[in-house]
């Protein structure tokens, strides 16, 4: 009797709660029917990465004629409407940063929920729905989820080598991990956002013939629980520990007619460094690219080489078959802080291994001279890391009979 009264009291309280959260909880308690023709997409940052690339493929091939497609936006400042039939946009949170019942209802009524990070806030997973986590990179670094479990029905990786890695990484034992690849990697070979013209403009401004993009993984994160801080000097950048070294590298780039773009990871705390007064080094952020309407992966596809470290971007870039340099100056520290996805990790970094400023300068000079000494090694690792080289969006949609 006591349990019954307690449930009754809880039910009455929920029905009389007219706050945003109260209304959202009612949606969870009494969810809408699942629509077979409904697809929801979510990414972080908003409208980026694998969900964006898959969406663009769907629009190009008329999927919105059969399906109602909804984008959920995390940040109100990034929100925009799509001028496309059967495509809509909804903010997950209101002005008070409360999750809305509208977003909850849309998510819980979708047949397919496609995302790149997590949608654990959905609270209730229903057997009629399919949750497809396209994820945001098969990387060198080890797991950093803590005790958090990210739920999914299916999760994408680039190759079979990562299946067991992610099975341990994600901690969710019921979901299936499949090596269908990442839709964003198709964008290494497209230019619908004008990224190549933007790159030409940047190169012209630097009087450069070649462009290198540097994609450091985050060390000091804006999310403290994800910190992998290895205390990289006053700038927060690998190898370039102070502003003087940045200026010295700028001179190397200028002398060799190379433009170096340093792309800040969206989870990285702001670098204590500046490109003010530099001619051939430029810092880029997601906010700047968004303002220019330029897609990051299309910009990456317009470069001649990449500098990275333990980031998934280097693994993706192997598909472009261009030189990669790895900054490894904090390798031992990073191993203790974060660890690696598998053993003998250096054997799977097919490129220049750079520990010092001299190593970094030598890599820039090699790119200027079109040298690619690690091409064969890179081809072998690419074979192991990537089950497929193209057609990722089509393959994923066919797999789920969408």
* Residue 8 falls inside a structural domain: no
Same domain, 164 and 47: yes
Q: Which two tokens stand for residue 315?
A: 């693994």
Question: Can you give the CATH number for the domain in which 74 is found?
Answer: 3.40.50.11820
* Residue 4 falls inside a structural domain: no
* Residue 284 falls inside a structural domain: yes
Same domain, 173 and 241: no
Contacts 24+ apart (CB under 8 A), 84-91: 84/59, 87/59
What's the confidence (pLDDT) of residue 286? 84
What's the confidence (pLDDT) of residue 375? 98
The total number of structural domains that make up the chain: 2
pLDDT digits (tens, 9 = 90+) for 91-112: 999 999 999 999 999 999 999 9
> Is the backbone peptide bond immediately before 286 cis, with ω within 30 degrees of 0?
no
What's the confidence (pLDDT) of residue 232? 58
Same domain, 99 and 172: yes
Same domain, 107 and 199: no
Spatial neighbors of 82 by CB under 8 A, at least 6 apart, are 71, 88, 89
What's the confidence (pLDDT) of residue 176? 94
Same domain, 158 and 232: no
Rounded to whole angstroms, how far apart are CA atoms 315 and 325? 12
Beta carbons within 10 angstroms of residue 357's beta carbon? 16
pLDDT digits (tens, 9 = 90+) for 385-399: 999 999 999 999 999
Q: Per-block average pLDDT, block size 10, for the chain (402 residues)?
A: 53 62 88 95 93 98 98 92 96 91 93 91 80 92 68 94 87 87 97 96 97 80 44 76 92 98 64 74 88 94 95 95 96 84 94 97 98 98 97 98 96
Query: Domain span at residue 328?
Result: 189-385
What's the confidence (pLDDT) of residue 310? 86
* Residue 143 falls inside a structural domain: yes
Strand ranges, E, within 250-393? 258-263, 281-284, 305-308, 324-327, 352-354
* Residue 81 falls inside a structural domain: yes
């Amino acid at each position: 009797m006591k349990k019954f009264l307690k449930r009754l009291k809880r039910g009455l309280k929920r029905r009389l709660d007219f706050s945003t959260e109260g209304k959202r909880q009612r949606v969870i308690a009494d969810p809408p029917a699942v629509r077979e023709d409904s697809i929801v997409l979510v990414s972080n940052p908003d409208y980026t990465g694998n969900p964006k690339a898959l969406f663009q493929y769907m629009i190009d091939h008329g999927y919105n004629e059969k399906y109602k497609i909804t984008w959920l936006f995390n940040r109100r400042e990034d929100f925009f409407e799509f001028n496309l039939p059967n495509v809509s946009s909804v903010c997950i949170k209101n002005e008070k940063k409360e999750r809305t019942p509208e977003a909850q209802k849309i998510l819980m009524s979708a047949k397919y929920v496609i995302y790149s990070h997590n949608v654990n806030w959905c609270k209730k997973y229903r057997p009629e729905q399919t949750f497809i986590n396209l994820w945001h990179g098969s990387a060198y670094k080890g797991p950093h989820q803590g005790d958090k479990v990210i739920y999914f029905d299916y999760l994408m990786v680039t190759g079979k080598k990562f299946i067991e890695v992610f099975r341990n990484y994600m901690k969710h034992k019921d979901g299936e991990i499949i090596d269908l690849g990442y839709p964003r990697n198709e964008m290494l070979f497209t230019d619908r956002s004008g990224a190549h013209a933007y790159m030409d403009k940047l190169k012209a401004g630097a009087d450069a013939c070649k462009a290198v993009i540097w994609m450091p993984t985050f060390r000091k994160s804006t999310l403290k629980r994800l910190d992998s801080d290895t205390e990289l000097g006053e700038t927060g950048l690998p190898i370039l520990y102070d502003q003087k070294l940045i200026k010295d590298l700028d001179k190397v780039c200028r002398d060799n007619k190379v433009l170096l773009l340093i792309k800040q990871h969206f989870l990285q705390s702001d670098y204590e460094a500046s490109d003010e007064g530099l001619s051939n080094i430029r810092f880029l952020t997601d906010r700047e690219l968004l303002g220019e309407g330029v897609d990051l992966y299309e910009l990456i596809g317009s470069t001649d080489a990449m500098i990275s470290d333990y980031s998934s971007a280097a693994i993706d870039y192997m598909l472009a078959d261009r030189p990669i340099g790895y900054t490894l100056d904090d390798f031992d520290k990073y191993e203790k802080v974060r660890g690696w996805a598998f053993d003998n990790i250096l054997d799977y970094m097919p490129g220049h291994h750079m520990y010092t400023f001299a190593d970094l300068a030598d890599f820039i000079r090699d790119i200027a001279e079109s040298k690619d000494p690690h091409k064969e090694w890179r081809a072998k690792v690419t074979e192991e890391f990537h089950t497929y080289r193209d057609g990722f969006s089509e393959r994923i949609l066919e797999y789920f009979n969408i």
